[in-house]
Amino acid sequence: MNVVAARGSLAQRGMQLDTICPLCGNSVESIFHMLISCEDAKRIWYLSPLRLLVDYYEGNSFREWCCSVRKSHKDPSWWNLFWSILWGVWLRRNAWVFEGRKRDVAASSSWHDQINTDAAVSSTLGVGPGGVMRDTEGDVVVSTCLRWSGKVEADVAEALAMRHALAITLDSGFNRVCLETDCLKLHNHLVKGRAPPTEFGLVVNDILHLTLRCQVCSFSFVKRAGNRVAHELAKLSFSFDDLRVWMEEVPLGISNFVMDDMKLLFD
């Protein structure tokens, strides 16, 4: 199975060579380490349009890990992008090993900024959309929340949150984005471009029309644990009576969750 020429695999075939990863210098370069678990590779996966948090999935081999990811991500277009990024990780490693060229991770991932959205729903306070946009370094560029009165279903609230955050992002001058949500229903409808004749579908249709203003736009699904900043902003919306937008920062009390997100990337 070890057909990829990682250093650990070559050593198992009898070659005499240094088996330590040439990029991080900390671990034996197995196929799994080289493509997935190396800190250098983890950063690429996190900053990519997939916004993939490697440590959320289980497996001690590349095959086991991919099977674990498959449980959460089944959309063929998601996997097409996954294999393209994987190929890029391999080529980047080879450029360093054989040519001494080490391409900056941020440069290789600069095609998207990341928008995370979430919504809080209260029977007495209404709906609270929250959204945060990060650049390719993971730094917050825009964060926002807003409280609306009235009652809607949870899926409608999630769609309203994404529509709000995307509109704020576009108005702020950013148009190369990846929209990320922990609402699987919303993600599936956006990926398929489906807008049924329902209240939920009307908001989805609004989002799809807003994406026409984007130079580049993609959609990603994330587990709740990877969407904490937007989740906390959504809850915070009930503390205000009007629209709140923060440029290049998040409100007091949310910054700890931003740091937790970054720790997930580098731990």
Instruction: Encode pLDDT of 53-71 as tens digits.
Output: 898 899 989 999 999 999 9
Are the CB atoms for 19 and 29 separated by under 8 Å?
A: yes
- The pTM of the full predicted model, rounded to 2 decimals, is 0.60
What is the per-residue pLDDT across 129-165, written as a single tens digit (0 to 9) for each?
Answer: 999 998 876 788 899 999 998 899 999 999 999 999 9
Going by pLDDT thresholds of 50, 70 and 90, the confidence category of residue 17 is: confident
Confidence of residue 261 (pLDDT cuts 50, 70, 90): low
DSSP annotation of 32 reads H
Residue pair 112/39 in contact by the 8 Å Cβ criterion = no
Superfamily of domain 113-266: Ribonuclease H-like superfamily/Ribonuclease H (3.30.420.10)
pLDDT at residue 213 is higher than 50 = yes
Spans of all domains in the chain: 7-108, 113-266
Do residues 258 and 135 lie in contact, with contact meaning Cβ atoms separated by under 8 Å?
no
Q: Where are the alpha helices (DSSP H) in 21-128?
A: 31-32, 39-47, 62-70, 76-99, 105-108
Measured CA to CA, the distance from residue 236 to residue 129 in angstroms comes to: 9
The secondary element (H helix, E strand) that includes residue 142 is strand 140-145
For residue 109, pLDDT beyond 90: no
DSSP 188-232: HHHHHT---SSHHHHHHHHHHHHHTT-SEEEEEE--GGG-HHHHH
Judging by DSSP bridges, how do beta strands 176-181 and 216-221 pair with one another?
Answer: parallel
Cα-only R_g, the chain: 20
